[in-house]
Amino acid sequence: MPELRQDLVTQAWVAVATERGRRPHDFAAVAESVPAVGTSCPFCEGNEHMTPPEVMAYRAPGSAANGPGWQLRVVSNLYPAFGPAEGNSEAYRVGLYTAMNGLGLHEVLINSPRHAEDLGLAPIEAVERVVRGYIDRYRAHEQHAAVKYTLIIVNHGRAAGASREHPHAQLFGIPLVPPVVEAEIRGVERYRRANEGRCPYCDIIDYEMGQGERIVYANDGFVVMAPFASRVPFECLILPRRHDGRFERMSPGEQRQFAEALRDSLGRLRRGLSNPPYNFFIHTAPHGRQGGQGYHWHLEVLPKLSIAAGFELGSGIMIDTVTPEQAAAFLRGVADQA
């Protein structure tokens, strides 16, 4: 029988309706897209002249900026969704409506000079370097007057919105806190008031580790799980065991553990589901909001294996056609990466 499940934090409802879907193994039939290396890729080493000047790079000693010799490179987006970074960010009225200038930043973080090395395949040192790059860019923007929130996202595969095959992330520095993050913050505050100050994400970790059926992977620092109210098939949530509101405050040891958890989960999706398209994003506390003590940062991975149709768009209720318990069991059964 279909079941309605409610997210503990946001209180959003999802419908789990396996009768409308397929078995977990059926999703493995998705055709794998193999990136093609070509001289026209602006993110490949040797093509640095095809991008805007780099704003940050990890480079071999002695290598010149905007040339070969880099391990990770960050450039401004050629077609920014937000910017410039200076100006008036106050909201203003347009008749009945409210608007504001789209000030901010839009950067591209290029994982590696290697065209086909995504995070589910890369050596752990390369994934750790990407994580360090994310943290450095968060820290670079935390005092920026025009940036109220920094969001890092990855679109993997054309169906997930990737315009380039070369593995990369995008950073958006925007002049407001995204409504979905505000909803999580309000949910955390509501839960704390009702539960003697406890964090809902900490309680989720304790409960799910005790139950085990929705756990995909865990190490000393992080837990990967299929959320109880998963919105899409094979959704994964990566949570730090140590309570902290800010992604950028990870210690070097935690950065390594996070890289292991991220690589493992993306690798299991890749091997088990034939390299599916997916989106992932990091939710962290807004800049300057009392240090973010009450929040609990996390990363969400949403494979693009289904389409939001009329019911989902009209009701706001997502339909998941694979139970989180089935999804977690399937991903646990995927062979470990060599």
Q: Are strands 13-16 and 318-320 parallel, antiparallel or unpaired?
A: parallel
| CATH at residue 33 | 3.30.428.10
Establish if 106 belongs to a structural domain: yes
Determine the residue type at 124.
I
The rounded distance, in Å, linking the Cα atoms of 274 and 205 is: 29
Are 172 and 144 spatial neighbours (Cβ–Cβ below 8 Å)? no
Kindly give the confidence (pLDDT) of every residue in the chain, 338 residues in length, as a single tens digit, with 9 standing for 90 and above. Answer: 789 999 999 999 999 987 655 666 666 655 455 555 556 899 999 999 999 999 999 999 999 999 999 999 999 999 999 998 888 888 999 999 999 999 999 999 999 999 989 999 999 999 999 999 999 999 999 988 889 999 999 999 999 999 899 999 999 999 999 999 999 999 999 999 999 999 999 999 999 999 999 999 999 999 999 999 999 999 999 999 999 999 999 999 999 999 999 999 999 999 999 999 999 999 999 998 766 779 999 999 999 998 889 999 999 999 999 999 999 999 999 987 65
Establish if 204 belongs to a structural domain: yes
Establish if 337 belongs to a structural domain: no
Q: What is the pLDDT of residues 102-117, one digit of tens each?
A: 999 999 999 999 998 9
**What range does the domain containing 25 cover?**
3-332
The rounded distance, in Å, linking the Cα atoms of 202 and 81 is: 35
Establish if 338 belongs to a structural domain: no
- Which are the contacts of 152, defined by CB distance < 8 A and separation ≥ 6? 109, 134, 137, 138, 169, 170, 171, 172, 281, 282
183: helix, coil or strand?
helix
C-alpha distances in Å from residue 204, one per residue of 214, 237, 241, 243: 11, 11, 10, 12
Q: What is the pLDDT of residues 261-310, one digit of tens each?
A: 999 999 999 999 999 999 999 999 999 876 677 999 999 999 999 888 99
pTM of the predicted model, to two decimals?
0.94
Count of domains for the chain: 1
